[in-house]
Structure 1
């Protein structure tokens, strides 16, 4: 089974505190998720983020298919990073690291997602046609939405890299 990785970086002219307040609030995930995905939080987002927090969502990753997605916040370092891991959902593995660091003029937000697709060879065949395309679309949407909310540091290019191992 192949392991895939998505690596995204964006820079915003905001404080680390403002970035952390937005990114560490699970309710804001709906704000930066495309509407067509039918994203809805079912439970677990009623408290500030903490290690061990379980959050349940409903999501439609592609038309005609809706699933429950359960994640656990496994690591939190206030103002610096947090990690969410899928406990139940559409992936065989989902490990998502979110980092925030100070840079000249604002902050850099970095996402590193390691994931595996279920269904063996069928999943691997579907990856470039469906999953990779979908993830690029989601992160492109997030980039545009976050830029609209916070502005952009023009001197630092955004990055989105997807690779397999």
Structure 2
């Protein structure tokens, strides 16, 4: 991203931006009262719809290292496991952003059957997010 590290991290450190960068069909809504201060241990509650089914989702920030990284983990939600590591690196005035998502579907072995479908959905969400972030940051 052709922006300084601090500016990009600041965007991601505002939980309310998550609503704006999530595809509209997910009907994603943050339930936690604002302002939300992200730090290690912060809890954020959401509501979203996946394939027409509404879910509650609770996330805990388990690692907070501004402006280089943070990790959110699902405590309650549609996945058996969701561990999302966000990393940011300065590359000569530009910023490299990486997302690593480790997830496990519930209801084994049925979850394994649904994995290719879910993987495609997760990848689509991140493609959408990439476009929206660039748009919102004006790049």
Q: Which bracket does the TM-score occupy, shorter chain normalised?
A: over 0.9
2:118 counterpart of 1:150: no
**Partner Cα distance (1:96, 1:70) in 2:** 13
8 Å CA contact 1:93–1:114 kept in 2: the answer is yes
Once the two structures are superposed, residues 127-165 of structure 1 have per-residue CA deviations (whole angstroms, 9 ceiling, x without a partner) of 102x1111111011011112223366xxxxxxxxxxxxx
2:83 counterpart of 1:124: no
Consecutive unaligned residues of structure 1, counting only runs of 5 or more, are 1-11, 153-165
**Partner Cα distance (1:107, 1:44) in 2:** 30
Equivalent residue, structure 2, for 1:74:
62
**Partner Cα distance (1:73, 1:45) in 2:** 16
**Partner Cα distance (2:54, 2:75) in 1:** 17
**Partner Cα distance (2:27, 2:137) in 1:** 24
**Partner Cα distance (1:127, 1:25) in 2:** 30
Further displaced range: 106-115 or 44-53: 44-53
Consecutive unaligned residues of structure 2, counting only runs of 5 or more, are none
1:17: how far off? Answer: 1.1
Higher RCO (Cα < 8 Å, 6 or more apart): 1
Match of 1:19 among 8, 31, 36: 8
2:38 counterpart of 1:43: no
Greater strand share, structure number: 1
Equivalent residue, structure 2, for 1:108:
96
**Could you state the TM-score of these two structures normalised by the residue count of structure 2?**
0.94
8 Å CA contact 2:5–2:93 kept in 1: the answer is no
